[in-house]
Amino acid sequence: MPATLIHRVEAWVFGHRALVLAAFAVATLALALAASQLKVAAGFEKQLPVEHPYMQTFLEYQEQFGGANRVLIAIEARRGDIFTPAFFNVLKKVTDEVFFLPGVDRARVTSLFTPNVRFIEIVEDGFAGGNVIPADFRPTREGLDQVRENILKSGQMGRLVSQDFRAAIVSANLLDRDPRTGERLDYMAVAKRLETEVRARYESEAFGVHVIGFAKVIGDVADGAAGVVGFFGVAVLLTALLVWSYAHSVVLSAMLVGCSLVAVVWQLGLLVMLGYGIDPMSLLLPFLIFAIAVSHGVQMVNGVGAEMYEGAGAMEAARSSFRKLLVPGVTALSTDVAGFLTIMLIEIPIIQELAVSASVGVAVIILTNLFLLPVLLSYAKLGERHRDRLRRSTAHRLRLWETMAAAARPAVAVPILVATVALGAWAWHEGRGMAVGDMEAGVPELWPDSRYNRDTAFIVERFAIGVDLIQVIAEVPANGCIRHDVVSYLDDFDWFMRNVPGVQSTLSLPTVMKTVNAGWNEGSPKWRVLPRDERVLVRAVTPVETSTGLLNADCSVMPVLIFTEDHKAETIRRVTEAVGAFAAANPSADVRLRLATGNVGVMAATNEAVDAAQMPMLLWVYGVVVALCLLTFRSVYATLCTVLPLTLVSLLCNALMAQLGIGLKVSTLPVAALGVGIGVDYGIYIFSRLQVHLQTGEPLPLAYLRTLRETGSAVIFTGITLAVGVSTWLFSALKFQADMGLLLTFMFLVNMVGAVLVLPALAAVLAPVFGAGRNRKGHAQE
Amino acid sequence: MKTLLSLIIMAIGLAALAASAPPPAAAETDRPAVPARLAPRSLLLDGALAGSRLVAVGERGHILLSDDDGATWRQAAVPVRATLTGVAFADARNGWAVGHDAVILRTRDGGETWTLQYQDPDGEAPLLDVLFLDAERGFATGAYGLFLTTADGGATWHPEPPAEEDLHLNGIDGAAALLLVAGESGTLMRSEDAGATWQQRETPYQGSFFGVLVLSPSEALAYGIQGRLYRSADGGRSWTRIETGTTAGLTGARRLPDGTVAVVGLSGTLLTSRDGGRSFALTRLEDRPALSGILPAGDRALILLGDQGIRRVDAPAAPK
């Protein structure tokens, strides 16, 4: 930005202070009104990597064969087994309750009481079938015994009834849009009803109610997220205290915190105007925006404070700081925006919304903290007491700056860099152990010991069915299920997949057809084969209804259900690779195996999307940071000194994730971009001052000492402020928020250390290479 | 009636097959069985002893061997992928396995390696059981009256329709002095001349028998659908019903080394008798697997074969 333009802007802004303040006040009021309309939104489809080929399959078939959006309710008999009148009464009521949940695909509700649960029995003249719970069921001893036998014949052991007969399941699929009204399903409402109408009503000493499914996750996540709102207050309070201890002035602190809160209000208001809701992930943005706003504002407060300490008036000090900080401020915030925007490379709507709303938030800070704040500061009046306090703390810090400035002497710089490189090498080595996806059982958003994950553990333990399902959709010619070659192919595929380590069990039409074929042969297991004869195949498939979810009406689509033992990234990769390997080894003109539906299918696509986005995202964010640094400093030397420390921190972050078992996934991937985008701010603030001093011909150590005096405390303060803001997430009820908080805290602090220690060391070591520090004709920025 | 229906369906089916002519499937007999981690948990249908070695056969051409009374199993190399339904050994080395596509496999090394002796995938009639009197003379029975005999260790097989009706011949057992064949619609045939001639006796039951177990030249058991179990003390001329306490189909039987007679069936049914099959005690496996075969596993245990694969259970305690 040319110096004349800055002067003109400065003149206008400070010439119309009242107008500026009035404009901000009006805008803030309007946006606050908009922000009050903010709704919590959490759609299922928003979390899907929509561009991934698996998701095309998913969207195409989710209504027919159920997507990943299942709700399972396990009723547990805490005393004795399920064969009591009371248990069947509860099971029936829960089944009815589920049937009337909003968004439920009623045809696919499954429990012992639903008509789609049938058994097949071998009798003397063929085989007969019926509902597991007959129409004339009475909960008498005889009736219950009959049901027990029917369950055994139905093959539902382990599926709808636990292996030990002590629990039974009601299963339902939810549709993202209500099939009756066409409206988007309110998952929070479903979760609430599950809690109030099912759990609260039927859980007792005698019966346990265990509820799992995406809708419940959303509910629990929203509940947990609500707790985070409280943390916002804590973060603001802590930050205000920090600001006060730094600025030694209530007035300055209030102005800074106020401006930063204005930024948050604007961000939330703009979110509503963009048509976005807030979800558990973007709930963390206000923290981040607030922390970034404070940390940038502090540069302004610092500048104004320093000028006034030197004896300047408030107006003069504000204007001078505005001039000095406009360029580095805009640059730093632009890199933040760019960092956020690179997150859009991840083709998952919820992430892309996060990228947009974060970018908007940071862009807002440019207005609030680079314009509003200096204008406010120009009204500030600081007394003599403030000056005294400032003097004492400045003197106190001087020794610290002198010690730190040694980093710019070659004798100290070399050891620092050697240590840095060693650390980087270690981090690179460790970081390769970082996994993509989830590392733990249960729902990763929630803590392992949360009620939800304990319910999951209960169901996995008692039932043979996993809660982790990937469905491969086989597309075949119409009536494919009466072609021996087609069903044999699928049978081979089913068996192949069952043998893949990590697969718990499989289910597909051919398996059922073999059992039916045996049924037609008096139940003899020796006839559990797929007959070659088309007519005999017809006989084997006829009793299998489409409601089983194993075939469509004209038998041209048959899913193969693959239940996995867990949803660790490695397991998922092994399964998807096995599918590809089978298809490659058994090319077929008639059978097309398509990945994938089921929750694990979604995870597979998400993992692949995240993995694929990681490298481009980092390249882009670094590319943008490098470009902006080059633009600002017009110096390769400066750019290298600023950016290289960031790469160390990126490596360390990966190492930390590997060490702590945090996988690279939707919630942690943006952290890498945020860490770099925000982390570069420190370097920009430091180097922009350093450059000015170097250009006056000062030797590097002295120039750096001056830089530290001017901006060192602001940089350190910035790091601490950012870290405080995000570290409150560590106490979140949601594990992914805690993970994000941990990683961001780490990146903010280590980036700050990198900027004050590694940056000057690099500057010292690289100076001879670039002839820097001797070049007095460099480009002045002011 | 049912057989007739099956035949009609088959005939129509074959005609339809010829008419629509879908691309020919890779015949199960063209493709060798694949070693699989879960083969011991696949559908296993019959077992036999090759000396002290246990041999179990089942779906996908699986043949499993155990040399430690069933503690560990390994999968033999098999040239076909057809579902194998029966296995028999003449001695510790010479054995035969039969199955769908009317395959007959031969081993000369106690089950380590197998060669294909006979197949007829287009006949659409599976072989369901096999028996060898010695290393030369053997019988294979199957669906729709399929009955193959050999006198040269299986080098040549001869179809030998022993009955006028094309009923499934589900099982065969015995020795030269008494051979019995059990089948559909109460079929029970006997031979006292090593299979040279066969007589159909008046049947005690019109339902199907899945198998027979010959205990001595005079004593035998026949078992089948609906928990039906019959005993003969006169070489299969007359039969008396034995109460089993179950209506589950009975699919396999064996006399164990200690003289216990065990019968298995659908829905996890296990019947044991310590009095030569005059009375049985009923046990039901908790998870109700469809069982099909039995092998001894040392003194105290049994190996049960079925749709869950190999299941080792303790031998039911002797009644006091």
* B213 close to B201: Cβ distance less than 8 angstroms: no
Write phi, then psi, for A550 (nearest 5 degrees).
-105, -10
Q: Using the 8-state DSSP alphabet, how is residue A772 labeled?
A: T
Inspect the interface and report whether the beta carbons of B249 and A152 lie closer than 8 Å. no
* Centroid of chain to Cα A223: 17
For residue A528, give the CATH number of its domain.
Answer: 3.30.70
Per CB-CB distance under 8 Å, the chain B contacts of A495 are 36, 42, 60
> What is the rounded radius of gyration, in angstroms, for the C-alpha atoms of chain A?
32
Inspect the interface and report whether the beta carbons of B287 and A163 lie closer than 8 Å. yes
Q: Using the 8-state DSSP alphabet, how is residue A482 labeled?
A: G
The pLDDT tens digits for A596-650 are: 888 889 889 989 988 888 888 889 889 989 998 998 889 999 999 999 999 999 9
Could you give the angle at which helices A713-727 and A669-695 cross, rounded to 10 degrees? 170
Closest CA to A356 of A429, A256, A282, A423: A282
Q: Are residues A777 and A654 in the same domain?
A: yes
* B265 close to B227: Cβ distance less than 8 angstroms: yes
Instruction: Give mean pLDDT, residues A555-576.
Output: 91
Which site among B3, B29, B43 would you substitute to test the A interface, given the most A Cβ atoms closer than 10 Å to its Cβ? B43
- Please give the single-letter amino acid code of residue B128: L
Q: Where are the alpha helices (DSSP H) in B21-123?
A: none
Of the candidates B2, B45, B208, the beta carbon closest to that of A526 is on B45
CA distance A469 to chain B (A): 20
Q: State the virtual CA torsion across A161, A167, A172, A173 in degrees, nearest 10.
A: -80
The pLDDT tens digits for A730-780 are: 888 888 889 989 999 999 999 999 999 999 999 999 988 876 544 444 343
Per CB-CB distance under 8 Å, the chain B contacts of A493 are none
Which ipTM was obtained for this model?
0.91
Of the candidates A123, A163, A525, the beta carbon closest to that of B292 is on A525
Q: Give CA–CA dist B320/B318, Å, rounded.
A: 6
Q: Tokens 């390696």: give the residue.
A: B113
The contacts of residue A697 (CB under 8 Å, 6+ apart) are A776
Whether A26 is covered by a domain: the verdict is yes
Q: Which residue of A has its CA nearest to B34?
A: A496
Q: Give CA–CA dist A638/A632, Å, rounded.
A: 9
Per CB-CB distance under 8 Å, the chain B contacts of A126 are 2
Which of these ranges, A413-422, A485-494, A730-739, B115-124, has the smallest mean pLDDT? Answer: A730-739
Whether B5 is covered by a domain: the verdict is no
Tally of residues, chain B: 320
For residue B196, give the CATH number of its domain.
Answer: 2.130.10.10
Q: Are residues A638 and A777 in the same domain?
A: yes
Inspect the interface and report whether the beta carbons of A529 and B100 lie closer than 8 Å. yes
Interface residues from chain A to B (CB-CB < 8 Å): 122-126, 152-153, 157, 163, 483-485, 488, 495, 498-499, 501, 521-529, 531-536, 539, 589-590
Q: Which residue of B has its CA nearest to A126?
A: B2
Inspect the interface and report whether the beta carbons of A528 and B83 lie closer than 8 Å. yes
> Among the ranges A212-216, A342-346, A725-729, B70-74, which has the highest mean pLDDT value?
B70-74
- For residue B294, the enclosing domain spans 29-314
Whether B19 is covered by a domain: the verdict is no
Inspect the interface and report whether the beta carbons of A526 and B85 lie closer than 8 Å. yes
Bridge partners of A130, per DSSP, are A119
Q: Tokens 């704040």: give the residue.
A: A373
Which site among B286, B291, B294, B308 would you substitute to test the A interface, given the most A Cβ atoms closer than 10 Å to its Cβ? B286
Closest CA to B178 of B210, B140, B131: B131
Burial (CB count <10 Å: 0-12, 13-18, 19+), residue A121:
middle
Of the candidates B16, B24, B168, the beta carbon closest to that of A534 is on B16
- For residue A690, the enclosing domain spans 400-432+634-782
CA distance A733 to chain B (A): 40
Q: Give CA–CA dist A618/A674, Å, rounded.
A: 10
Per CB-CB distance under 8 Å, the chain B contacts of A532 are 25, 121, 124
Q: State the virtual CA torsion across A431, A432, A436, A442 in degrees, nearest 10.
A: -70
pLDDT at residue A224 above 60? Answer: yes
The pLDDT tens digits for A520-557 are: 888 899 999 999 999 999 999 988 888 778 999 999 99
User: Could you give the number of structural domains in chain A?
Assistant: 4
> Secondary structure of A648-675 in the HEC alphabet?
HHHHHHHHHHHHHCCCECCCCHHHHHHH
Inspect the interface and report whether the beta carbons of A532 and B9 lie closer than 8 Å. no
Inspect the interface and report whether the beta carbons of A533 and B17 lie closer than 8 Å. yes
Q: Are residues A262 and A118 in the same domain?
A: no
B147-150 β-sheet, strand order: B127-132, B138-142, B147-150, B158-159
Q: Are residues A658 and A736 in the same domain?
A: yes
Closest CA to A13 of A305, A300, A322, A302: A322
Inspect the interface and report whether the beta carbons of A526 and B124 lie closer than 8 Å. no
- Residue A265 has what pLDDT? 95
Give this prediction's pTM: 0.84
Whether B7 is covered by a domain: the verdict is no
Per CB-CB distance under 8 Å, the chain A contacts of B290 are 523, 525
The pLDDT tens digits for A650-709 are: 999 999 999 998 888 888 888 888 888 888 888 988 998 899 899 898 899 999 999 998
Among residues A201, A219, A237, the one where a domain terminates is A219
Whether B259 is covered by a domain: the verdict is yes
User: What value does the mean pLDDT of chain A take?
Assistant: 87
Inspect the interface and report whether the beta carbons of B13 and A522 lie closer than 8 Å. no
Q: Using the 8-state DSSP alphabet, how is residue B203 labeled?
A: P
Closest CA to B267 of B246, B281, B252: B246
Whether A421 is covered by a domain: the verdict is yes
Per CB-CB distance under 8 Å, the chain B contacts of A152 are 267, 288
Whether A485 is covered by a domain: the verdict is yes
Per CB-CB distance under 8 Å, the chain B contacts of A501 are 37
Q: Which residue of A has its CA nearest to B210?
A: A524
Q: Using the 8-state DSSP alphabet, how is residue A110 labeled?
A: B
User: Could you give the number of structural domains in chain B?
Assistant: 1
CA distance B69 to chain A (A): 24
User: How many other C-beta atoms are found inside a 10 Å radius of the C-beta of residue A70?
Assistant: 21
Q: Angle B1-B3-B5 (CA atoms, 0-180°, nearest 5)?
A: 70
Whether A302 is covered by a domain: the verdict is yes
Q: Are residues A707 and A771 in the same domain?
A: yes
Q: Which helix (H) or strand (E) holds A173?
A: strand A167-173
- Residue A126 has what pLDDT? 58
- Whether omega for the bond prior to residue A464 falls within 30 degrees of 0, making it cis, is no
The pLDDT tens digits for A28-77 are: 999 999 988 887 766 667 778 888 999 888 888 877 776 567 889 999 99
Q: Are residues A370 and A407 in the same domain?
A: no
Which pair of structure tokens corresponds to residue A570?
């490695």
Of the candidates B16, B226, B291, the beta carbon closest to that of A535 is on B16
The contacts of residue A258 (CB under 8 Å, 6+ apart) are A376
Which pair of structure tokens corresponds to residue A549?
């979810």
Which pair of structure tokens corresponds to residue A704?
């750096």
Per CB-CB distance under 8 Å, the chain A contacts of B225 are 122, 124, 522-523
> Secondary structure of A400-463 in the HEC alphabet?
HHHHHHHHHCHHHHHHHHHHHHHHHHHHHHHHCCCCECECCCCCCCECCCCHHHHHHHHHHHHC
Of the candidates B10, B25, B288, the beta carbon closest to that of A484 is on B25
What number of C-beta contacts closer than 8 Å exist between A and B?
A: 96
Which pair of structure tokens corresponds to residue B116?
């294909």
Per CB-CB distance under 8 Å, the chain A contacts of B8 are none
Spell out, as residue ranges, where chain B has pLDDT lower than 70: 1-29, 161-164, 317-320
- Residue A519 has what pLDDT? 85
- Please give the single-letter amino acid code of residue A56: Q
pLDDT at residue A782 above 80? Answer: no
Q: Are residues A652 and A771 in the same domain?
A: yes
Q: Tokens 């109408």: give the residue.
A: A197
Of the candidates A122, A529, A539, the beta carbon closest to that of B225 is on A122
Of the candidates A125, A528, A590, the beta carbon closest to that of B43 is on A528
Which site among A486, A524, A528, A537 would you substitute to test the B interface, given the most B Cβ atoms closer than 10 Å to its Cβ? A524
For residue A755, give the CATH number of its domain.
Answer: 1.20.1640.10
CA distance A529 to chain B (A): 7
Inspect the interface and report whether the beta carbons of B45 and A525 lie closer than 8 Å. yes
Whether B246 is covered by a domain: the verdict is yes
Whether B241 is covered by a domain: the verdict is yes
